[in-house]
Amino acid sequence: MQEVFCLEEASFSAIAASVVLWALLKARLKESSARTLINRKGKDTMNVEQTLIERSNNQCELCGAQEELGVYPVLPSDGSEDQSIYICETCKNQIENPENLDRNHWRCLSDSMWSQVPAVQVMSYRLLSALGDQDQLDMLYLEEEVKNWADQGLLTSKTTDNTTALLHRDSNGTLLAEGDTVTLIKDLEVKGAGFTAKRGTIVKNIHLTDDPKYIEGKINGTQIVLVAAYMKKSN
């Protein structure tokens, strides 16, 4: 009986030791996998940046600057070079703070909008939309898939309650707000209403739409959709 008890005790000790060894092995495997993943991500990031440096000729893909350059994912992005751009710090700061867009700086978009790189096209489209530059937008052609990508991340600004708001701008790049008064800067044919809204027409108490390129307002008693870029904000 004593011998059986000793055998059972020895078996239990062996099982316990095996469990401990398996737990230690599992922990080491997990640590090794995590280290490998970190190294792989680091290498992937380096590979993406090197690819973008070569693609951009080591200059900002938006404005052409050659200093303070870095990888910028164009959301939604998987972090690959196909869904990222190589831009300077100035462009990055303005993209992330679109309420402070400098219209003079973004004259460069007249060149970058013609890039053959979809990610650059997408960011150019978003910036032109935020600037309200309808003439440039009318010239910019995007494949359907690229257009859908661009529309998923239109630039927004933070509001006082920490939510986000689309940026509507007039012909001068001035931000428009709900209830503003604007003046038409060109004649606009109002389809379906049978009249032409003349240049200089004042539109009061405008309504901002879900598309930053358009606003709504009443002309001759008719509520119509108007192109924000063809309006000038009244003081």
**Angle CA(188)–CA(189)–CA(195) in degrees, nearest 5?**
120
User: What does the pLDDT read at residue 13?
Assistant: 60
Give the pair of three-digit tokens for residue 224: 């119509």
User: What does the pLDDT read at residue 37?
Assistant: 46
Tell me the mean pLDDT in the region 165-178. Answer: 82
The one-letter code for the residue type at 65 is A
User: What does the pLDDT read at residue 7?
Assistant: 47
Q: DSSP per residue over 171-209, as a string?
A: TTSPBP-TT--EEESS-EEETTTTEEEPTT-EE-S-EE-
Nearest to 91 by CA among 111, 118, 115, 61: 61
Q: Is the peptide bond before 76 cis (omega within 30 degrees of 0)?
A: yes
Is 182-233 a domain of CATH 3.30.70.260?
no
The DSSP symbol for 143 reads: -
State residue 156 phi and psi, 5-degree precision: -130, 165
pTM given for the model: 0.61
When mean pLDDT is compared over 77-91, 179-193, 203-217, the highest value belongs to 77-91
Residue bearing the bigger pLDDT, 114 or 193: 114
Residue 13: CA count within 13 A, CB half-sphere? 6
Nearest to 105 by CA among 114, 95, 115, 118: 95
Q: What is the tens place of the pLDDT at every residue in 213-235?
A: 889 999 988 898 888 888 899 87
The domains of the chain are located at 69-166, 182-233
Collapsing DSSP states into helix, strand and coil, what is residue 149?
helix
User: What does the pLDDT read at residue 143?
Assistant: 95
Q: What is the tens place of the pLDDT at every residue in 114-170?
A: 999 999 999 999 999 888 888 898 899 999 999 999 989 888 765 444 455 678 888
Q: What is the tens place of the pLDDT at every residue in 10-49?
A: 555 666 666 666 676 677 666 655 555 444 444 466 799 9
The DSSP symbol for 58 reads: S
